[in-house]
Amino acid sequence: MKPFIDLKAQYLNIKDEILEIINEILESSHYILGENVRKFEDEVKSYLGVKKAIGVASGTDALHLALKALDIGKGDEVITTPFTFFATVEAITYVGAKPVFVDIDSRTYNIDADKIEEKITPRTKAIIPVHIFGCPANMEKIIEIARKYGLKIIEDAAQAFGAKIGDRKVGSIGDIGCFSFYPSKNLGCFGDGGMVVTNNEDLADKIRILRNHGSPGRYIHNTVGLNSRLDEIQAGILRVKIKYIDHYNELRRKKAAVYTKYLSDAVITPDEPTNVYHVFHLYSIRSDRREKIMETLQKHGIPSVVYYPIPMHLQGALKSLSHKEGDFPVAEKISKEIFSLPLYPELAEEEIFQISQIILRCLQENYS
């Protein structure tokens, strides 16, 4: 079986730099909250064009800390998408707030901004748009709604480091932006890691204290926080990789375009709204013959994965919200048709051609 994402190919290309920085950190014996975390936070600030960046232990913690910093809790409602990775919703439940879902747009698979307003109640405190698969959500409309109703915006940019709307990078557009550096993300480390970014200094100060046991100074605790720090080795690895992120994203876009060229007449290929820079964390296509195509690919040693087969409102863990099939028809339909093909910066174009040919042949045979 070929890899779905070839993390080793990427490592081998930057191996010397990675080993050098890891060795430096090991020799320094400074493993938690040292100069690499500080420098990586500075590099993220200048890359995204934000005032503050705080390294944390994961993308899930980034969301949890963002909600805590905004004092969102019991009795509050947070609007988000049912078509995401579970962590988005998990974080809302961590603070005791209620996730309120809004169906998605059938082309970008992001929250349908035109359906947000009808879900707003006096208890609504925030909106969490997710830039799914690396495609920015409709932030212009979401900001307009947030202003009108006095809501906060937390961007879940876990899949979209470097994605843009115009020349604004996602994560820098709402009140708080949250990133994940899980190894398979488009900017990934070699373990768990995350980042919270904001232009609001008070929120940044709060998050900085909350990530370290609510401690503003040694053995002083004014609030209860988390143990959620990005560690030095992961920060060091990310300092090497962030230098190449624009190059990696460009390669992802180029390879996505090759797939689209071959496949757009046979399946539903990803959309890129005007003025948007999609970073293709995943290359996801739709077909009503998904199972057949996936099975055929599998037979040829090509992996493909369904992101995501069950929308959030139908997850067992969220039974208490009493949702049922039919509540979010677009998300449900897309979960039944969508699947992702191998895509990573080092993937050969010849390979994309072959994968596409297998899909096209499979669909032709299926017709006759």
List of residues contacting ligand PLP (CB under 6 A): 58-60, 84-85, 87-88, 130, 156, 158-159, 180, 182, 192, 194
214, two tokens: 């609510």
**In the complex, minimum distance from the CB of residue 45 to ligand PLP, in angstroms, rounded to a whole number:** 20
**Closer CB to ligand PLP, 266 or 305, in the complex:** 305
270, two tokens: 């990803």
- Do the strands 124-128 and 152-156 form a parallel or antiparallel pair, or are they unpaired? parallel
**Closer CB to ligand PLP, 314 or 363, in the complex:** 314
Give the neighbor-by-neighbor strand order of the sheet with 124-128. 52-56, 194-198, 176-180, 152-156, 124-128, 77-80, 98-101
**Closer CB to ligand PLP, 170 or 209, in the complex:** 170
Helix/strand/coil for 170:
coil
**Closer CB to ligand PLP, 89 or 203, in the complex:** 89
**In the complex, minimum distance from the CB of residue 157 to ligand PLP, in angstroms, rounded to a whole number:** 8
**Closer CB to ligand PLP, 138 or 159, in the complex:** 159
Tokens 């980042």: give the residue.
Answer: 195
Q: Residue 54 carries which DSSP code?
A: E
**Closer CB to ligand PLP, 282 or 363, in the complex:** 282
**In the complex, minimum distance from the CB of residue 216 to ligand PLP, in angstroms, rounded to a whole number:** 25
**In the complex, minimum distance from the CB of residue 187 to ligand PLP, in angstroms, rounded to a whole number:** 11
Q: Residue 147 carries which DSSP code?
A: H
308 prior amide bond cis, ω within 30: yes
Cα dist from 256 to 26, 109, 348, whole Å: 38, 17, 12
Task: Point out the residue whose Cβ comes nearest to ligand PLP.
Answer: 59
Cα dist from 189 to 103, 222, 254, 292, 355, whole Å: 32, 32, 23, 34, 28
